[in-house]
Amino acid sequence: MKKTLLPSIIMALLLLFSTSKANNLEYVSGIPATVNDYKIVGNIMYCAVNNGIMIMDYTDAATPQMLSYLQMEDAAGQIEIQGEYAYVMARTAGMRIINISNPSEPFETGSFRLGNSAQGWGIAVQANFAYLAYGMDGFRIVDISNPSSPAETGAFFLPESDIFSRVVVKENVAYTTVGNIVYALNVQNPQSPVLLGQKSILGGITDMALRQNFLICVSNFNDFSSSFYGLIVLDVTNPASINQVGNYDTDVYSYKLGLSGNLCYIGNGTAGVAVLNVDALGLVTYIGNVGGFTSPVRLVRVSDGKAFVSGEKIGIQSFIVDTPASFTHLSSFSTLHDCRDIQIRGNVAYIANGRDGLVTVDISDPIHPVIVGWSPNSGNGLGIALNNDYAYIADGSAGVMEYNIVNPHLPVLTGSVMTDNWAQDIVIRNNIGYVAVDVLGLQLLNLSIPGLPSSAGSAFDLSGTSYGITLKDNLALLASGGAGLHLVDISMPAQPALVSTYNTPGSAYDVFSKDNKVYIADSQGGLVVVDISDIHMPQGIGQSFIPGDARQVIVEGNSAFVADWSHGIRVLSINDPANMIQTHNYKLSGTAHNMALHGEFIYIASGSAGLTILRNPLSTGKNELKKQAGLSMVVSPNPIQESFTINLNSTKPLDATLRLYDVTGRELGIVFSGTIPAGESLINSCSANPLICNIKSGIYLLKLDSASESISLKLVKP
C-alpha cells in the first residue's frame, strides 16, 4: 500500500502556491546535440540544433569555429535566414525570431507561439510573411514585418491532420504536407489562404524543396510487404492539378534533401549520402553514393564546392566535392548525442552519451566548453562512475564498460563485463563496483585489475526495477522503481543482505544520502525524504509534489537539486522536509536525466539536447576559488588589438605552459612555456610569439597549465 506523506490536499495546494515566486536559474552555456537543419550564408552556417541555434564560421572550412550558441525551450527543427534575422521553428516553443546582425552575439527579438501543446514543424519565409506548418494545428501565416511583434494573419485547417508537416513557398503558392499528402494553397491574400489542389504520393514525406516547376519530395514507405525510400518528383506547373513525373528508390530510409542545381543530395541514413539528378522533365537518375560514415546521415548541404554532412552521432562533417558523388574530407565538428549521466574531475566532464559511448569535455572555461575526446560503446550508456584513472559506464544491455582516462583527449575502451541484467547505474568503493541491474537488483563487480573487470557473483535479487544506487556506510541504497527504496547490507560484499524497504508514493529513480536522511527522486511522486536513523524501520518525513517526473537528486547545504525530466531543473529548500519550497527552476530543452554540481556551475546531462550549463545560485563563486589557488591571468585589452599584453600573477614560482585553442578544442600552439616567477609577469605576445597576432577573427581559449594549477580564459580576436 502506498504511503501518503502530507496530511491533506490543502497542504499540497499551499506548497504549489508557495513556489510561484521561484527564481529562474541563469543559463551559462552548453554543447548542442543533433544538428537538425542548417543554412549557409557566405561563410557562416546557421544551425538548428536539438536545443537551440548554433552559429559556425566556415571561412576556413578546415578549421570551423563556433561563433555562438543560443538555447531555446524546445528542439529547433528548421531554420530560415532572411536579412539580419534567423527564423527558427522549435516545436512547442513555436517560431523564434533571432537577430543575427552580429553572428557572435545573436539574441531573440520576437516569437510566435500557438500554445503549450501545439507543435511547429515546418517554416518558410518570404518577404513580410512566415508560413508555418503546425501539424495537428494546421497551416498558419504570420506577419513578420515587425520582427519584435509577429502576428498571425490567416490560417488553413487541412482536411487531414498529423503531427509532422513541412512547407515551402513560391510567389503566391504555398505547398504544405501532412503524411503522404501535398496541399497547394493560394496565399495571395494572407488573411484567407485558399486550397488550390492536392496530391497523394507513396509514403510519408520527410522533406521537400522547390526547383523551377518541380516539387521534389523525400518520402518513405514500408508496409512489410513492399517498401519505397527515396525521391518523388511532382510537376506543380498547375497547382490545381499536380502530377507525379519521376521517382527513385534508394532502398534505405531517406531523411532530408539538399539541392545544388539539378543534383539532389539525400541524407540516406546508413547508406550515407545518395546523389541523384533531376532533369528538365523531372526524371530521376542515380549519380552515386558517398559512404563511410560511422552513423546514419540525415542532412546534406552543398555550397560553393563544399558539402556539409550531419547526422545523429556525427556532428558536422565538411568535404570538398571533387565530383558529385566523390567527397574529400575537410573537417569535423563534434556535437553530443544523448547525454544520460555526467561526472566531473578537475577541468574535465565525463559524459555517458547514450549509444555514443564516453565523451570528455574540457570545462576549464565553462562559458565555452569543448569536446576533447570520445570512445564508443556497444550498448546504451546510462550511468557513469570514476575510479582512479578509469571511467566505468553502466551500459544497459552491454553490462559495464571500462575506459582508461589518463589522457582525457584520448579515452580508450580497456575492458567490459556483462551483468545479469541491464546495467542502469554504478557507484564504486574500494575497487568494488556496485551496479543497479534493472529487475534483478544489485550486482557487484571486481574492478581491482584494470583491463579485467569481472563479476563478483550473481545479482542479488530485489523487487522492482533498480534504476539508481548510492552507498552510505555499510549500506547500498537502491532506488527500485515501483518497489521504492531498498536498504541492503554490504558489510560483507560477498553476501549482501536486505535490511529493509520503504515503499515510496511514485516510482523511485535515484537516491541521495546525507546524514540520516535519504532523498529520493520518485518520478511522479516528486521528491521524497526518508529518515533512516533506524535502518530497520525507515520513516517518511516529507514529500514535495513540485517535481512532475523527478529522475535525480543532489543535496547541497539546505537545498535539493532535482533533475525533473521534461520539466527541467528545480531547486528546493529542504530546511523543513515536511514543507519543502521551490526556490529556483529552469525549463530545459530536452530531458533532464542527471547532473553534477561543480564550483559555480550546474552541469546537466540533457538527453537529446546535449550538455546544459547553468550558474549555481548557491555557490560561493568561481572567482573566489581562483583567488585561493594563487594564480590569475588577464588579457588586456580583450578583444585584443595590435598591442596587447597577457598578465600572469602567481603567489609562487610555477613551471607552466600557456597554450592557445580554437573553439573546437584543437590546439593551435604554445604561447609560452617556462617558469613563472612569483608576482606579476607580462607577456607581449606579438614580440615574444606571433601566434596570437596571426590568428583570424573569432573566439579562442587560452589555457595555462602547471603541475598543480590550471586556469583558462576566453580570448576574442575582432
Query: Contact 361/348 with Cβ under 8 angstroms?
Result: yes
Largest Cα span, the chain:
81
Query: What is the average per-residue pLDDT within 138-160?
Result: 94
Say what the pLDDT of residue 277 is: 98
Task: Decide if pLDDT at 597 tops 60.
Answer: yes
Pick from 213, 139, 143, 148: nearest CA to 178:
139
Q: How far apart are CA 305 and CA 509, in angstroms?
A: 50
Residue 692 region, left (φ>0) first, then alpha (ψ -120 to 50), else beta?
alpha
Least confident of 4-18, 333-347, 382-396, 595-609: 4-18
Out of 2.130.10.10, 3.30.920.30, 3.40.50.2300, 3.40.605.10, select the CATH number for domain 28-265: 2.130.10.10
376: preceding bond cis by omega (within 30 degrees): no
DSSP state letters, 251-271: SS----EEEETTEEEEE-BTT
Is the model more confident about 556 or about 658?
556
Say what the pLDDT of residue 7 is: 35
Task: Decide if pLDDT at 501 tops 70.
Answer: yes
Which three cell numbers mark 114?
Answer: 500557438
Least confident of 149-153, 347-351, 688-692: 688-692
Q: Give the whole-number percent of the chain exceeding pLDDT 90.
A: 71
Say what the pLDDT of residue 2 is: 41
Which three cell numbers mark 268?
Answer: 540516406
Q: List residues bridging with 306 in a β-sheet.
A: 303, 320
- Our measurement of the distance from residue 311's CA atom to the centroid of its chain's CA atoms, rounded to an integer in Å, reads 13
End-to-end CA distance of the chain: 65
Pick from 638, 655, 650: nearest CA to 692:
638
Burial of 377 (0-12, 13-18, 19+ CB in 10 A): buried
Query: What is the average per-residue pLDDT within 500-526?
Result: 97
Task: Decide if pLDDT at 300 tops 70.
Answer: yes
Q: How far apart are CA 28 and CA 49, in angstroms?
A: 17
Say what the pLDDT of residue 685 is: 63
Say what the pLDDT of residue 626 is: 37
Q: How far apart are CA 128 and CA 169, in angstroms?
A: 13
Q: Where in the chain is the domain with CATH 2.60.40.2550?
A: 630-717
Query: Contact 372/413 with Cβ under 8 angstroms?
Result: no
Counting every residue written for the chain, the total comes to: 718
Supply angle C-alpha 332, 334, 339, rounded to 5. Answer: 160
Which three cell numbers mark 557?
Answer: 547545504
Q: How far apart are CA 451 and CA 449, in angstroms?
A: 6
Query: What is the average per-residue pLDDT within 526-545?
Result: 97
Look at strands 173-178 and 167-170 and give their pairing.
antiparallel
Q: List residues bridging with 527 in a β-sheet.
A: 521, 544
Which three cell numbers mark 490?
Answer: 554490504
Supply angle C-alpha 513, 514, 519, rounded to 5. Answer: 50
Say what the pLDDT of residue 583 is: 94
Task: Decide if pLDDT at 711 tops 90.
Answer: no
- Our measurement of the distance from residue 456's CA atom to the centroid of its chain's CA atoms, rounded to an integer in Å, reads 35
Residues 6+ apart with CB under 8 A from 497: 488, 489
Segment 423-461, tens digit of pLDDT: 999 999 999 999 999 999 999 999 999 999 999 999 999
Segment 662-675, tens digit of pLDDT: 755 677 888 888 88
Say what the pLDDT of residue 19 is: 39
What count of other Cβ atoms lies within 10 Å of the Cβ of residue 48?
27
Which amino acid belongs to residue 290?
V
Pick from 544, 538, 548: nearest CA to 574:
544
Say what the pLDDT of residue 68 is: 87
DSSP state letters, 147-195: TTS-EEEEEE--SS--S---EEEETTEEEEEETTEEEEEE-SSTTS-EE
Task: Decide if pLDDT at 623 tops 70.
Answer: no
Look at strands 23-24 and 581-586 and give their pairing.
parallel
Across the chain, mean pLDDT equals 90
Query: What is the average per-residue pLDDT within 253-265?
Result: 96
- How many CA atoms, within 13 angstroms, populate the side-chain half-sphere of residue 151? 5
pTM of the predicted structure, to 2 decimals: 0.80
Say what the pLDDT of residue 12 is: 38
Say what the pLDDT of residue 646 is: 83
Q: How far apart are CA 517 and CA 218, in angstroms?
A: 56
Say what the pLDDT of residue 403 is: 98
SS3 561: strand
Task: Decide if pLDDT at 325 tops 90.
Answer: yes
- Could you say which DSSP state residue 550 is in? B
Query: What is the average per-residue pLDDT within 144-155?
Result: 96
Q: How far is CA 521 from each of CA 442, 517, 594, rounded to the nearest angstrom?
A: 19, 13, 11
Say what the pLDDT of residue 680 is: 74
Burial of 22 (0-12, 13-18, 19+ CB in 10 A): middle
- Our measurement of the distance from residue 265's CA atom to the centroid of its chain's CA atoms, rounded to an integer in Å, reads 26
Segment 229-252, tens digit of pLDDT: 999 999 999 999 999 999 999 999
Segment 382-438, tens digit of pLDDT: 999 999 999 999 999 999 999 999 999 999 999 999 999 999 999 999 999 999 999
Pick from 372, 373, 365: nearest CA to 711:
365
SS3 640: coil
Say what the pLDDT of residue 634 is: 81
Segment 452-491, tens digit of pLDDT: 999 999 999 999 999 999 999 999 999 999 999 999 999 9
For 367-411, where are the E strands, in sequence order? 370-375, 383-387, 390-394, 400-404
Query: Contact 54/609 with Cβ under 8 angstroms?
Result: no
Task: Decide if pLDDT at 205 tops 80.
Answer: yes
Say what the pLDDT of residue 124 is: 98
Say what the pLDDT of residue 22 is: 57
CATH topology of domain 391-401+418-615: Methylamine Dehydrogenase; Chain H (2.130.10)
Q: How far apart are CA 325 and CA 273, in angstroms?
A: 8
Say what the pLDDT of residue 77 is: 93
Segment 4-55, tens digit of pLDDT: 443 333 333 333 333 334 578 888 888 998 899 999 999 999 999 988 999 9
CATH 2.40.30.10 for domain 630-717, yes or no, is no
Segment 106-122, tens digit of pLDDT: 999 999 999 878 899 99
Say what the pLDDT of residue 705 is: 79
- Could you say which DSSP state residue 14 is in? H
Query: What is the average per-residue pLDDT within 176-197?
Result: 96
Say what the pLDDT of residue 672 is: 83
For cell 503524411, what's the residue?
179
